Amino acid sequence: MRTWSDSPFPRLVRSGDVEGYDAATVVARDNGESSVIHEAPGHPGWLVKRYKPAARIGHIALDDLIELPGQMSAGDLALVDRSIAWPVSRVVDGYRTVGTLMARADDAFTGDVALLQGRTRRQTIEVDLLANADRDIERLGLPVPTPALRLAAMREIVAVAALFERHGLVYGDWSFANAFWAPGTDRVLVIDMDTVRMGRRDHLETHNWDDPLADESRPLTTHTDRYKVALLVARTTTGLRQERGKAVERMAALYPRYPDLIALLAACVDATEPEARPRLEEILSAMDGPAATGSRIGGGRTGTGARPRSGTASAGGRQNHGVPSGANVTGTVPWRPNGGQAPKVPSSVPRPPSTPRRSTPAGPRTAGPARAPHAPRTSQRTPSAPASGASAGTPPTGPDRSRPPERTGSGCSPVWIVTVLLLIAFIAVIALRS
Amino acid sequence: MEPHSEPAAAGYTAPTGRAEQRETGRRNGLPTYLVLDTSGSMKPFEQLLNATLTEVVDTLYASPRVAEFIHLSIVSFNTRPHVVLPMTDISQLTGLPVVECQGRTQYGAMFDLLRDRIDGDIGGLQAGGVQAYRPVVFLLTDGIPSDGGTWRSSFAALRDPGWRRRPGLVSYGFGTASEAVLEEVSTLAAYIAEPGREEENKKALSRALTSVMRTLVASASAQQLQLPHEVEGYKSVPLEFADM
Nearest-CB residue to A129 (from B4, B22, B64): B64
- Residues B160-183 have a mean pLDDT of 91
SS3 A158: helix
CA distance A263 to chain B (A): 7
What is the pLDDT, as a whole number, of residue A294?
42
* Inter-chain residue contact B12 with A262, CB threshold 8 Å: yes
ipTM value? 0.81
Q: CB neighbours (10 Å) of residue A120?
A: 14
CA–CA dist A393, A374 (Å, integer): 18
**How far apart are the two ends of chain A, measured CA to CA in Å?**
71
> Between residues B192 and A283, which one has the greater pLDDT?
A283
Sorting pLDDT into bands at 50, 70 and 90, what band is A72? very high
Contacts of B39 (CB under 8 A, 6+ apart): B77, B78, B79, B101, B102, B103, B104, B105, B142, B143, B146
| Residue A383, CA distances (Å) to A358, A361, A367, A386, B143 in order | 10, 10, 16, 8, 60
Helix (H) or strand (E) holding B71: strand B70-77
Q: Which of A5-9, A251-255, A398-402, B206-210 has the lowest mean pLDDT?
A: A398-402
Nearest-CB residue to A177 (from B27, B62, B221): B221
Q: Give the β-pairing of A26-31 and A34-39.
A: antiparallel
Site from A178, A205, A208, A397 to mutate, B interface, most B CB atoms within 10 angstroms:
A208
CA–CA dist A391, A407 (Å, integer): 28
CA distance B212 to chain A (A): 12
CA–CA dist B226, B217 (Å, integer): 9
Best-predicted range by mean pLDDT (B92-96, B127-131, B237-241) = B127-131
Burial class (CB in 10 A: 0-12, 13-18, 19+), A229: buried
Q: Which residues of B touch A (CB under 8 A)?
A: 1-2, 4, 7-8, 10-15, 17-23, 27-28, 57-58, 61-65, 68, 91, 93-96, 214, 217-218, 221-223, 228-229
What is the pLDDT, as a whole number, of residue B101?
93
CA–CA dist A60, A296 (Å, integer): 40
| Residue A136, CA distances (Å) to A117, A129, A300 in order | 16, 8, 29
pLDDT exceeds cutoff 50 at B241 = yes
A–B CB contacts, 8 A cutoff, strictly below: 123
What is the pLDDT, as a whole number, of residue B233?
77
pLDDT digits (tens, 9 = 90+) for B11-36: 566 655 444 445 544 688 999 999 99
pLDDT digits (tens, 9 = 90+) for A232-243: 999 999 999 989
* Inter-chain residue contact A244 with B94, CB threshold 8 Å: no
SS3 A232: helix
pLDDT exceeds cutoff 70 at B215 = yes
Nearest-CB residue to A128 (from B4, B12, B63): B63
pLDDT exceeds cutoff 80 at A112 = yes
Sorting pLDDT into bands at 50, 70 and 90, what band is B209? confident
- Residues A26-32 have a mean pLDDT of 82
Sorting pLDDT into bands at 50, 70 and 90, what band is A214? confident
Alpha helix segments (H runs only) across A140-192: 147-166
What is the pLDDT, as a whole number, of residue A82?
97
Site from B4, B6, B12, B21 to mutate, A interface, most A CB atoms within 10 angstroms:
B12
pLDDT exceeds cutoff 90 at A69 = yes
What is the pLDDT, as a whole number, of residue B37?
93
By percentage, how much of chain A surpasses pLDDT 70? 65
Nearest-CB residue to A207 (from B63, B223, B228): B223
